[in-house]
Amino acid sequence: MKLLNKFLIPFAVLSLAACSSMEVDEAEAISENFPEDFDGAVYMELHPELRSLQVRNYVADYNAGLSISTDSVKADTAAFAADTAQLHQIYVDPNLGGYSETHWVDAFAPVVSDSLVCQVENVYEYLNLKKVAVATDSASGEDKVDSTDIKLYRPITVVRDSADTTKIISVSGLTDTAATDPETFVLSDSLFLLSGANMGKMVKDTLGCDTIPKETPGSLPALTVKYLKNFNFVDTRDDLSRLKMVPVDTLAISLQYVVYGESHGWAYRRCKESEKSNPVISEEFPVTKRYCADDAGVVREIK
């Protein structure tokens, strides 16, 4: 909808409400202030938001007069919001939703954002090995067992038996956190890994990350859906057909020009060919001139 209309709608609400409550003789008296070439149908075509407002008021009054359960209203409202095909037609109808087809397409366009996807696996931060050696004591002549603890730091490589992956053949890693070259140890009866919780520590390691585009389906903004619910008759699922049958109160729409539109510079008719280069509206409320709209919808002075 036009930006101007968004600001003027609240005032139009008051104007239409006032007009609708007028007696016939009052309306006729005010109608004497219309320009001679005023046409209510043309005025409504130039300002379809007035018809939209009239329809919304009609729906609100209709729903207020119903006696149906809260659960029924909730179910109907949910069904209305989920009926995308019907919402689409209401959305783009200039006399109802008042939005353009372009806005609809843009709303449902997928939202593309970058997502960081990383490959993660469990790796050993360190491993504990024990090396056992048997030596004969020169004094006693008895065998003596000596053991040495070896701690390997990442990066650690574990080589497993291809026939039995539970069996570890060798390991390699840094023997000191300051070391740069890993050492390899072939496991045997005299060189083995400690078992269980003493074996070492595993951590999650990020091997590499890629930035991958992620698409999120588009949808109507929540505020737009809330606005469209003003067109929902809560006792039917075929709202569009009912909306098309809402009677047009041309008099109320026409009187809006007298009560509000004229003083705020609203165009009341289309510009004649000779008027299409007239000055663009520059007055502020209250205006002193009357205006027309050219083919592009630009409001111009009527001289």
For residue 184, what pLDDT band results from cuts at 50, 70 and 90? very high
- Classify residue 222 by burial, with Cβ atoms within 10 Å: 0-12, 13-18, 19+: exposed
Say if residues 36 and 73 touch (Cβ distance below 8 Å): no
Average of per-residue pLDDT values in the chain: 85
Would you state the pLDDT for residue 1? 39
User: Are both 234 and 295 inside the same structural domain?
Assistant: yes
What's the mean pLDDT in 218-229?
A: 90
The backbone torsions φ and ψ at residue 60, rounded to the nearest 5 degrees and listed phi first, read -60, -45
User: Are both 133 and 209 inside the same structural domain?
Assistant: yes
User: Are both 173 and 226 inside the same structural domain?
Assistant: no
For 58-84, the pLDDT digits (tens) are 999 999 999 999 999 999 999 999 999
CA proximity to 251, closest of 106, 39, 33: 39
Would you state the pLDDT for residue 24? 55
User: In terms of residue numbers, what domain contains 31?
Assistant: 3-109+219-301
Would you state the pLDDT for residue 23? 54
User: Are both 239 and 105 inside the same structural domain?
Assistant: yes
Structural domain tally of the chain?
A: 2
For 44-64, the pLDDT digits (tens) are 999 999 999 999 999 999 999
Is 80 exceeded by the pLDDT of residue 27?
no
- In terms of residues, how long is the chain? 303
Of the residues 157, 191, 213, which one is the last residue of a structural domain? 213
Would you state the pLDDT for residue 292? 95
The amino acid occupying position 39 is D
For residue 2, what pLDDT band results from cuts at 50, 70 and 90? very low
Whole-angstrom distance, CA of residue 75 vs CA of residue 70: 9
The backbone torsions φ and ψ at residue 298, rounded to the nearest 5 degrees and listed phi first, read -75, 130
Would you state the pLDDT for residue 138? 74
User: Are both 171 and 138 inside the same structural domain?
Assistant: yes
CA proximity to 115, closest of 218, 213, 215: 213
User: Are both 79 and 145 inside the same structural domain?
Assistant: no
Would you state the pLDDT for residue 30? 62
Exposure letters 160-195 (e unless 16+ CB within 10 A, then b): eeeeeeeebeebbbbeeeeeeebeebeeeeebebee
Of the residues 161, 187, 213, which one is the last residue of a structural domain? 213
Of the residues 188, 213, 238, which one is the last residue of a structural domain? 213
Would you state the pLDDT for residue 4? 37
